[in-house]
Amino acid sequence: MTGGHLQIVICGAGPATNAAQLVKAAQHRSWTATVTATPSAMNFIEPQPLESLTGQPVRSTYQSSPGTRRSLPATDALVIAPATYNSINKIALGLADNYAMTSVAELIGRQVPTVIVPFVNAALAARTPFQHAVASLRDEGVHVLLGPDDQWEPHLPGNGNERQKAFPWTTAFTTAVRLAHEPRRPATGHL
């Protein structure tokens, strides 16, 4: 595959400001990208530069701009970054209470190769619900980029601004490309 389509979902955490880096990493490898943001993430990003880069509106609600499609475009990989404590717990539980979460639920269900890059502090990451969420998502075949193998660890509370500079945008994309090239797991659902 020389190129594909990347769906990016941005949640409400500091690194959201720099999400253009992920779009640029994809475009550098001849991928196209579109951006969806949670309602909270809209407080962190400037949609216009992202829209100029991708040529597509940033979607945050079910309402689509005139002329844009309502259904999800064909997607070769999904990257959720930065992923908040809140959204990671919701995705693992299958909650779909906003447009971004509904899209994520459907794309994971379609077995689109998915990478989640958490941006959580160590106190939140230590919570049992979060640890269950990460384990459950990994069980489902989602790559949660977290831990020593991924060289991406939760930061100390209060250290987010400093940590934001090291956010692994490029690794997120290269991991998504690697997953997109792997054979898909057989579906285990019983429906």
Q: Which residues bind ligand FMN (CB under 6 A)?
A: 11-14, 38, 40-41, 84-87, 119-120, 160
**Which lies closer to ligand FMN via its Cβ, residue 31 or residue 152?**
152
Element containing residue 34 per DSSP (H, E) = strand 32-37
CB of 69 to ligand FMN, least distance (A): 23
CB of 148 to ligand FMN, least distance (A): 20
Element containing residue 10 per DSSP (H, E) = strand 5-10
**Which lies closer to ligand FMN via its Cβ, residue 50 or residue 120?**
120
Non-local (6+) Cβ contacts of 139 within 8 A are none
CB of 183 to ligand FMN, least distance (A): 31
**Which lies closer to ligand FMN via its Cβ, residue 85 or residue 173?**
85
Sign of the C-alpha dihedral computed for residues 155, 169, 138 and 44 taken in this order: positive
CB of 129 to ligand FMN, least distance (A): 13
Q: Which residues of 40-49 are buried (b: 16+ CB within 10 A; e: fewer)?
A: bbbebbeeee
CB of 84 to ligand FMN, least distance (A): 3
Query: What is the Cα–Cα distance from 71 to 152, expressed in whole angstroms?
Result: 33
CB hemisphere CA count around 96 (13 angstroms): 11
